Amino acid sequence: MVEFETIVNPPQEVFEQIVKLTSETEDWAFQLNDYNFWSSNFDQFWLVTVVEKGTLNLVASVSLARWDGEDGPLFSVGMYYVVQKYRGTGLGKPIFQKVMDIAGDNNCTLTGVVKMSEKYAKDFGFDKCPPHWHLFSSLKLADFVIPEKVSDKYTSKKWSDVDYDALTAYDRTICTRDRKKLMTPWFNLKDTFSRVVLDQSGNIVGYGTIRLVTKNRLSPAPFYADNIEAAEVLLEELLEMVPNWQSYTSFGFLYPECNKDPLTLLEKFAKSKESVSTGVFIRSQFTKKLIPTPDHKVYGLADCAHQYV
């Protein structure tokens, strides 16, 4: 009979199985470097895993980040996953409970998939939610085309060519919590391309990062813009930064349902509107206090494991 053991903060090899399996079975879009990024840049980070005893063969995982701010610590739970053959055998819940015990009475957030959202609310108190879900709209790159005309009211620059204080000040209009120390490392991650969009007076009106992720996909995370015209300039110029962007398989926005612009934008870049597919994906959930977000500016969450915007 197979026996199991729990390993907290296992070697990278275990995380690589998580990235690969969650991509294959759930279509999640993470990078191999995310483990190192989270461990190095949050105030504390736990990756709790179950493996087949005596091996590093993944059975189950869940991650927890502690991110301190002016409003106290915010915990976030992500990467909750049980390998298909072990689902429903009770191996998932104890590790979920373990990270909830660490989070204690502090505010805690997660993005719950449709089938689990209610369970998180009922069993673990994640019942402070915005009224909307987050949708995922995607398009195959083979069906993508840069429109002949995009707005000439905006220009974009590499993130490293704009004033970092201005960029982080803009970010405070997106995320009320200070992400200054997280932003540089996430822009510096391997296989990512970041750009900032500015209006004619040089004011920052959005920024975005395209990440190369598993299954040869492009993942815009994050992607923010004050309006759709700025967003179309950002999208065009970001794509142009990715060598041979047409050779990737797909591109998709994960965005609040109440914002119609991400879908309109994708349709504008699609050979035909019918080639864009959309589904309900996740809900942002908190245990103690819902942190509001400017949903009309959000085209893509920064990270659906450990960020809520």
Q: Which residues bind ligand COA (CB under 6 A)?
A: 26, 80-82, 87-93, 112-113, 115-116, 119
Nearer to ligand COA, 90 or 243 (CB): 90
Interstrand relation of 72-82 and 107-113 (parallel, antiparallel or unpaired)? parallel
Nearer to ligand COA, 82 or 234 (CB): 82
CA distance 83 to 183: 32
Q: How far is the CB of 99 from ligand COA (least distance, A)?
A: 12
Q: How far is the CB of 118 from ligand COA (least distance, A)?
A: 8
Q: How far is the CB of 171 from ligand COA (least distance, A)?
A: 25
Closest CA to 276 of 295, 251, 258, 259: 251
Nearer to ligand COA, 128 or 296 (CB): 128
**1: exposed, middle or buried (C-beta count within 10 Å: 0-12, 13-18, 19+)?**
exposed
Amino acid at position 184, single letter: T
Q: How far is the CB of 116 from ligand COA (least distance, A)?
A: 5
Q: How far is the CB of 26 from ligand COA (least distance, A)?
A: 5
Which residue's CB comes closest to ligand COA?
92
CB contact at 8 A, 171 and 179 = yes
Nearer to ligand COA, 45 or 81 (CB): 81
CA distance 16 to 243: 25
Q: How far is the CB of 184 from ligand COA (least distance, A)?
A: 28
Which two three-digit tokens encode residue 143? 């069906």
CA distance 120 to 110: 9
Q: Please count the other Cβ atoms lying within 10 Å of the Cβ belonging to residue 5.
A: 12
Nearer to ligand COA, 34 or 237 (CB): 34
Q: How far is the CB of 200 from ligand COA (least distance, A)?
A: 42
> How many Cα atoms within 13 Å fall on the side-chain side of residue 89?
14
Nearer to ligand COA, 133 or 248 (CB): 133
Which two three-digit tokens encode residue 162? 């704009």
Nearer to ligand COA, 93 or 132 (CB): 93
Which two three-digit tokens encode residue 116? 């689990």
CB contact at 8 A, 70 and 107 = no
